[in-house]
Each structure stands twice: as structure tokens, then as C-alpha cells.
Structure 1
Amino acid sequence: MAAVFLPLFGNWLQPYLPTMAGSSSPKPDRNKFDPLPEPKNPEPIGGERKGQFRNYTVTEVPTFTDENWGFTIDGLVKKQQKYNWQEFLELERRVQVSDFHCVTGWSVYNVTWEGIPLKKILQDSGIDPKANYVKFYSGDGVYTDSLTISQAMQDDMIVAVLMDGELIPQQNGGPVRLITPKMYGYKSVKWLTRIELIENEHIGYWEKRGYKKNAWVTS
């Protein structure tokens, strides 16, 4: 499957070529946040992470600070939520270890993520019976994707803020990104700033360009 998608992926990414996290010349992280979240587990709980992230983007990488960042849950919910950085850090988080798979053929194993379960965010906002889908917005102003309600309610879907005990790097979608462990990474929306519950199906950025709507990782 990865071989089928790779040429298409590469064409759309130009001129935003991937960078390798942890390489000899990583790009500086321009995100500035104060305070930083206190991790529940300062050390990764899944053992040493195996593999490296290749940081793709379809736009210039956005830059955020604790002053300009916000997070919204709206649409077909009973209680719209809007958080600034400090308020977001007060939400109860959990830690999980999962693998990350890219449709282009690479994976990173034993990643320790810490964040808010997507299921809890949706339940706390109150899901309107008319809602059938959950739409996710990237803070780059371009990228979107979606899950069905049933997909979004799976236990391992998480709105992550920490990776291996540290704030998610800017190049890897920080400060906050969606993590969908059983689906390919194009569903794990980077720079997540808004979640909207909607009635009708939304076709995401890469799905419009030929990728599958159901991005389940296949062995």
C-alpha cells in the first residue's frame, strides 16, 4: 500500500520536503509555551522509542505561543468548549504507549504519548444525536480530516500534548496533535486547534487526493 501512495504523497509535498526528527541538523523549535506541562511520567514508560519521525507538512510549519494558541470544541455539541493554554493544561491527561505508522512505509514504535482521551473530550462536550462525524482542524489553516463518531470513541484515540515526557516538538505537530494509533498517520492531525462535530461526511485533505477514508493500518 505504501508503494502505491508514495509518488502521490511526494508530489503534493513539494516544496515542503520531509525532515528527519533527531537528524544532525534539526530545525529549531520556534514554539514558545509557558508554563510547560508537568508529565505524569518524566521517563517513557514503553521502553526506548524505536525509529524516527519524518516530519511532513503541506504548508509552512505554523508557530504558536501560549498567548496565540487556543483550542475549541464546537459544532453539534451540547456544550461548546474553548480553552487557552493554561486552561488546556488543567484538563486531566493520561499516558499511553502506541506505535505510529505512516502510509509511506515507515513506523515509529513504543512512543509514549500523554494527553486527553478524545472520547472524554467528546463526552464532556455532550454529543448531539445528529452528529455522525468528528472533524479536526490543523492550526496551519489548511489541513483537515475526520473520523466517524464510533472511530473517535475508541479508547486509544488521544489528543496528545507530550511525547516521551516532553512537549511535542513544533515540527512534529506540537503543541497538540491528534494520535490515531490503529490508523495511518495522515489521520493524526498536527497542530490541532479545533474539533467540530458534524452531521455530514467530511472528506479530508489527503482523502481528496486519493487516500482512503478509512485509514486502518494493515499488516
Structure 2
Amino acid sequence: MVDEPVEYKWKDFVKMKRKVQVSDFHCVTGWSVRKVTYEGIPLKDLLKKAVVRKEAKYVKFYSGDGVYTDALTLDQSQMDDVMVAMLMDGELIPSDYGGPVRLIVPRMYAYKAVKWLVRVELTDSPHLGYWQVRGYDTDAWVRK
């Protein structure tokens, strides 16, 4: 549900203007990593380039493993700290941590931060991702 679908090659993606942010990483099982420095492109900037249609209500994310998916509402995707990151603490994100690029959603538990991100799709219907069909909340807000 975009007017201008966009495909990025790695060499073009890494040349894009990036943002640096420091945020906490929270696992739903109770552990956290504080003050992680991420560098990447704000998701709302990537969506703006694609010209999102007014009918779109959700943003669906696909992992390169072909199994893992998740989604945010369009409003959630517009939060300033939601990004497609390629660097973590000054280094390329290793595959074990979801690299080369992964979604970062600091105000939600990490199961919303799709690893090995390969595709983003705009839809008009909600999507139950990998963990939601296994009983996890669709809205994964971290409780402070």
C-alpha cells in the first residue's frame, strides 16, 4: 500500500543519512541491556520515501529466515526512535544479533525488533506475528 515501492541494495542503504540513538533493549523474559548505541535510518524516513497510501494502517516486517514476521500500527512505526539499524555500539550488527539490519523499537519488548530484516510491507489489516500466534501481546509496550 505504497505509491512508490522502494528496494535498497546494501551499497545504497549504507550511504543514506543515518541517525544515532542510545536506547535500552528489553527482553520480555526479564533481562535488559542498558544504553545500547544504535545507528540506522528512522523507519518513518524510509516509509516517507515509499509514499504510504492513506488506506495503510499497519507495517509488516519480514525476517530473512523466512519464518519470523511481526507488525506495528502505522502510528507506532512513526515514533522517533523506531529505526532500521545497521550498527550497534559502533560496529556492524553481527548475524547473531539480527544483522546486517534489524528493526529497533526501544519502547517495546525486543520480540517486536525483527532480526535479519529483509522486507517491509504496508497493509490495511492487522497481522499476528511469530510470537503473537504463540500467545504474546500484539502491543509489546515495556512497563516502566
The residue number in structure 2 matching 1:214 is 139
The residue number in structure 2 matching 1:87 is 12
The within-5 A match list for 1:22-101 is 76-101=1-26
Aligned-partner Cα distance in 2 for 1:118–1:165: 20
Residue 159 (1) aligns with residue 122 (2): no
From the CA coordinates, give the structure whose radius of gyration is larger. 1
Residue 178 (1) aligns with residue 103 (2): yes
The residue number in structure 2 matching 1:128 is 53
Counterpart code for 2:29: T
- Quick check: which one's strand share is greater? 2
What is the deviation of 1:92?
1.2
Given the alignment, which residue of 80, 90, 93 partners 1:168? 93
Counterpart code for 1:201: P
Q: Deviating runs (4+, > 2 A) in structure 1?
A: none
Q: Which has the higher contact order (CA 8 A, sep 6+)?
A: 2
TM-score (ref. length: structure 2):
0.99
Paired-residue identity, %: 60
Aligned-partner Cα distance in 2 for 1:109–1:124: 32
What is the deviation of 1:218?
0.5
What is the deviation of 1:83?
1.2
The residue number in structure 2 matching 1:116 is 41
What is the deviation of 1:217?
0.2
Unaligned runs of 5+ in 2: none
The residue number in structure 2 matching 1:150 is 75
What's the secondary structure of 1:81's corresponding residue?
A: coil
What is the deviation of 1:85?
1.0
